[in-house]
A = this chain, B = another copy of it.
Amino acid sequence: MIYFHNDYSEGCHPKVLERITATNMEQTPGYGEDLYCLQAAQRIRTLCGNEKVAVHFLVGGTQANLTVIAAALRPHQAALGPAGAHINVHETGAVEATGHKVLSVPSTDGKITAQQVRSVVMAHRASASFEHEAQPKLVYISNPTEYGTLYKLSDLQALSDTCRELGLYLFMDGARLGYGLAASDNDITMPDIARLCDVFYIGGTKVGALFGEAVVISNPAIQEDFRYLIKQHGGMLAKGRLLGLQFSALMEDNLYFEIASHAVRLADQIRATLDKIGVPYLVPGTTNQIFPILPDSFLEELGKNYMFTEMKRVDGDHRAIRLCTSWATTQQNTDALCRELERIAAL
């Protein structure tokens, strides 16, 4: 059985493991105050082209989301995102457990537009009973989204402008950020993100680390006392250096971007094969996630040797699935998958 169903099936990139192994018996201060964390943070500040951003390392995405949102909002304020936002549907109400409502707008591609943000905020402010509604204060986006789509620089600029005009925070969940930056049609850079968002994170768990997300905070209001929030939510790792070591390795010699490019190149190869055999997509994309719509009989055959994620039934005899590549996907397995797709298509 070969896994193409997600991007977190293996451990970590060998260079990351090597760093952990090489330093294993070193003695360092705890709780993220070691030199490796400082080094990794500095590398990220340099990549962002901004020496004033604060960088914190958290263990996982849900933890990063809930900690950032708890740090940013007053009790009556809400996060606003697309209907399928990870915080809205896949985190067991983690944001609500910190006391905040998640507001959502319709979206078929996982994105939210500046105009949607403006409409929600304006409707709220125009309401005769606005104080009876949660106040939208933070816009949550994922880039890439859950559907593998990307924000263009112009989208992000518009969202940022709108948020600043209206006094909202813009927060980007970058759990798969590397795969987005490596996509062929991406036009956004790390300095763009650091400049346009109030806070975002660089996903490690899905892009070469054992675990870990690097939260980058541009807005001083969210920077303040952030480490208290991490500790309060159980996110302050005693051996915080493990996060520093991993991000230090990933951010060295362009490793993070190289392994992301590797995954995207393999995904492009799979897309080319699917295109060749005329397969439609639930949502088209250019990152490491692919959402083909295939006949049930095709999937039954494919499922004999390949693991994929079920997305949804599209019609009586077609389902959309997800195929993922990652830093760990091999050329060999990708070739085999492509041959298998062609073989089944030819049946």
Interface residues of A (CB under 8 A from B): 2-3, 6, 8-12, 14, 17, 20-21, 23-31, 59-67, 70-71, 74-76, 78, 89-94, 96-102, 128-129, 131-135, 205-206, 210-211, 225, 227-239, 242, 310, 328
What are 5 A-to-B residue pairs whose CB atoms are below 8 Å?
A: A11-B26, A62-B236, A65-B234, A92-B134, A131-B231
Residue from B8, B10, B60 in contact with A24 in the complex, judged by beta carbons closer than 8 Å: B10
Chain B CB within 10 A, most for which of A12, A24, A30, A93: A93
Interface of chain A, main secondary structure: loop
- Rounded to whole angstroms, the CA-CA distance of A237 and B237 in the bound complex is 13
* In the complex, the 5 A-B pairs of residues with the closest C-beta atoms, listed nearest first: A63-B234, A11-B24, A76-B228, A93-B134, A93-B101
Sample of 14 more A-B contacts, CB < 8 Å, known A76-B93, A211-B238: A8-B238, A17-B20, A59-B237, A62-B236, A75-B229, A76-B92, A76-B228, A92-B131, A92-B133, A92-B134, A96-B99, A135-B228, A211-B237, A234-B235
Say yes or no: A93-B100 contact (C-beta < 8 A), given A60-B234, A233-B233, A234-B234.
Answer: yes
- Rounded to whole angstroms, the CA-CA distance of A24 and B8 in the bound complex is 12
- Rounded to whole angstroms, the CA-CA distance of A93 and B31 in the bound complex is 17
CB pair A62–B234 under 8 Å, yes or no, is yes
CB pair B96–A101 under 8 Å, yes or no, is yes
